[in-house]
Amino acid sequence: MNRVTLNNVRPLAASVAATFIALFSTPSTTPLLARRLIDQCGRGSQIQSSPIVVVGVLTSDELVFRPVPMRSDPTYPLQLRRLKIRVENVLKGASLPSIVGVYYFTFAAGFDGPRPLGLWGLGGRRIFGLRRDSGVFRTACDGWDSCTESLSSGAHPGYRPDPSNSLDYALLDLRLTRGEGPMNEIAFATEVRWEPGEPRLLAYALEKLRHLAITEHGEVKSSVCEMLRIYSVDRIDANLRRRASDALYVAHCQCATKPDGNVVCR
C-alpha cells in the first residue's frame, strides 16, 4: 500500500471537534490507557517491517474510548478500540498466547483516503503486524490500514515459517496453499492472484502456482492458470517464462483470448 499522509484526511470543523474533545477528554474522565497510548497515524509500519506478525481470527472488536485527539492534529478525533484475536500462527516474533488483546486507533469522524483500520468482519482471518507498547499489544499502524491483510486460504494449523527465509516466503506459503476448514472459494481465487513484489520470490511463487494448477479446480484453477499464462509471456527471466509455460502444459490449462482482448483460462 502506498504511504498516505494525514493531508488526505478530511477532518471535521475544528470548533466541533474541539467541543467534543473538551467534553470527553478531561483528566477526570479520560481512561488511563487512553492517556498512555499515543497514536501512530502517519508513522505506522507495514506488515514486513512489523516486529511481530501473526495470523489470527477476529473474535471481538470493542470501543474503549472516544474521542481521543490525534497527536499530529489535536482538532481531529480518533477512537481507541480493542481487538481479541485467536492466534493461529506466529510468523515473526516470540510465541504468543492463544488469545491476545490488541489495541488500535482509528478515525472517529469523516475521512477521505484508503482503507482505514476497523473495516473487517468478526470471524475473519487476517495477517496482523503488531508491536508492544506500554505493556499491551498494539497494531503496528493506526488510522490507515497498512499493517493488516485479509487471508482467504483457510487455516494452516502447525505452520511455522522457515527461519532461514524472509517473511515474504511465509506470506507466499499462506496465500498460495489451500488450508483447512470452510473458505470463500471466490475470495481464495482472488487471493492466488497476489503477485510477489520482488523477482527473487517469483521462482518460489511459480512452484506454488504449479501445484495449485494441478490440484485445484473451478474458479481457483482458472485464476491460477491465468496467472501462469501472464508469467509465460511476461518480461521476466526466460527460464521463469519456461517454467510458467511448463506448468500450464502439465496442469492442462486451457486459455483463450476473448473478443475484448482479455484472456480467460480454465
CATH number, position 16: 2.40.50
Same domain, 49 and 75: yes
Round to whole Å and give the CA distance between 26 and 82. 21
Q: Which range marks the domain in which residue 220 is found?
A: 157-266
DSSP β-bridge partners for residue 107: 78
Same domain, 67 and 147: yes
Task: Tell which of 151, 174, 195 closes a domain.
Answer: 151
Report the chain's mean pLDDT, rounded to a whole number: 88
pLDDT, residue 5, reads 40
Same domain, 163 and 145: no
> Each residue of 9-21: b (16+ CB within 10 Å) or e?
bebbeeeebeebb
Q: Of all helices (H) and strands (E), which one includes residue 240?
A: helix 238-250
pLDDT, residue 31, reads 64
Same domain, 221 and 240: yes
pTM for the full model?
A: 0.85
Same domain, 66 and 90: yes
The answer to whether the beta carbons of residues 133 and 37 sit under 8 Å apart is yes
Same domain, 74 and 176: no
The number of domains in the chain is 2
Same domain, 28 and 86: yes
Same domain, 136 and 182: no
**Could you tell me the sign of the dihedral formed by the alpha carbons of 191, 176, 199, 253, in that order?**
negative
**Alpha-carbon torsion angle 70, 122, 49, 114, nearest 10:** -60
Share of the chain above pLDDT 70, in %: 88
Same domain, 16 and 48: yes
Task: Tell which of 102, 120, 151 closes a domain.
Answer: 151
Task: Tell which of 151, 168, 189 closes a domain.
Answer: 151
Same domain, 167 and 103: no
Same domain, 180 and 144: no
5-28 confidence digits (pLDDT tens): 444 444 333 333 443 333 334 344
110-165 confidence digits (pLDDT tens): 888 889 999 999 999 999 999 999 999 999 999 999 999 999 999 999 999 999 99
Same domain, 97 and 43: yes
Round to whole Å and give the CA distance between 240 and 198. 13
Share of the chain above pLDDT 90, in %: 76
